[in-house]
Structure 1
């Protein structure tokens, strides 16, 4: 009898238990990347003189992951089809749209809390944070 679908999505399937290099990132890995990345971006924002609280910043970064999550769901549906170059291009475009949307949304929220001359310094770590998450989305095949 197979494992429940929710277990396979969050923890990997029984097929990947024999060879962990076959599967994508597991729930704990993504959870740690998101939390550590959020803390680093938030700490950077605070050190640059931002006037937003630590927990507000972490919450905004988490909420702004929604477009990337939607891109992940669309990419997972596309992965159910027979793979081709066209489908990879579609997955890439969907992932980049989610990445751009997430970066823009967090920039709107957190960029306004930064002093005028330091906005670029605050946006760059957010860009890298969402880029890493988007890389996980597109590289999972």
Structure 2
């Protein structure tokens, strides 16, 4: 029996604002083919979704919302997600997915496709964000035991 290698999954990263490069870089290191999503044709065509999955990165959720509407992407994204496209929302991306945003900026909307309520800046102000060094025991993750890992501690939404 001949086993053919599986093609790399095609993963879109919403590329309007935020941690686009960081998410794209990690996905590429994990073996995905990354598509930067800036227009509807980047994620959907006449024959359906063009992606195997989608990432909505961290950033500033009210800015991302305004850009989604400015570039007329919100309805198309909502539709492909509702049809079952796997999606990961980190930080601001989670806020975009939430059905209920408890402390939305004036006029801010969400895609409303994830049945959760969030407070977008629940865990600390932006000025409290910083980089720290953490001691970890994560050989399976970072290839080291009892090592040091540089990590970002940021304000974050609360679900």
- TM-score bucket (shorter structure): under 0.3
Q: Which one has the bigger helix percentage?
A: 1
What is the TM-score when the length of structure 2 is the normalising length? 0.20
Higher strand share: 2
Identify the structure with bigger relative contact order (alpha carbons < 8 Å, sequence gap 6+): 1
